Structure 1
C-alpha cells in the first residue's frame, strides 16, 4: 500500500513542468531573462534561489536599519512599538 501512495504522490513530468513554468512567471523579469518555456528548469530554479537570497538580504538590511533607528531613538514611541512587533515576527 505504501508503494501505491508513493506513486500517487509523485508528480508527472507535465505537472512538474507546469509548476516550474508558474515559478518562472512569478519571478521578476529582467532584460536578460526570457519569459518563454524554452528556459531550462535548472536556470529557473537557480534564478529563483538567487532571487530568494536577494530578498532575504533586503529583509536583513531593512531589519538592521530599523533596529539601528530604534536604538538611536529617532523614532516616536508609537512607531517604535509597531516596528518592534514586526521585528519579532
Structure 2
C-alpha cells in the first residue's frame, strides 16, 4: 500500500512559520532578530501552549472549587452555567 504525501514548498513553510510567529504574544517573540529559526519558534510555541494548558487547568480547578462552595440554585451559579454553555 503506497501513500502519496503532498510536499510543502519552502515558501509555504516560511509563510506558515510567519503565521505561527504572529500568533505568539509579544512577550514570547524574540526582539532584535528579524526572524527566529523555525526550531526556536516551534520550541517557543510548544512552551506557550504548555503554559496555556496549565492556565486552563488552574482556572478549571478554581471554578470547580467555586462551584463546590456555591448554592447550585443561586443566581451566581446560573450565570456561571450560562457562561460555560456559551
| Normalised TM-score (structure 1) | 0.72
Q: What residue ranges of structure 1 are gaps of 5+ in the alignment?
A: none
Give structure 1 regions of 4+ aligned residues with deviation exceeding 3 angstroms.
81-85
Q: Which residue of 1 is the match for residue 52 of structure 2?
A: 55
- What RMSD over aligned residues (CA atoms) do the two structures have, in Å? 3.1
Counterpart-to-counterpart distance in 2, 1:22 and 1:83: 34
C-alpha displacement of 1:17: 1.1
Is it true that 1:21 corresponds to 2:15 in the alignment? Answer: no
| Normalised TM-score (structure 2) | 0.75
Q: Which has the bigger relative contact order, CA under 8 A and spacing at least 6? A: 1
Is it true that 1:73 corresponds to 2:70 in the alignment? Answer: yes
Q: Which residue of 1 is the match for residue 8 of structure 2?
A: 11
Q: What residue ranges of structure 2 are gaps of 5+ in the alignment?
A: none
Aligned residue pairs total 84
Counterpart-to-counterpart distance in 2, 1:17 and 1:37: 13
C-alpha displacement of 1:62: 0.5
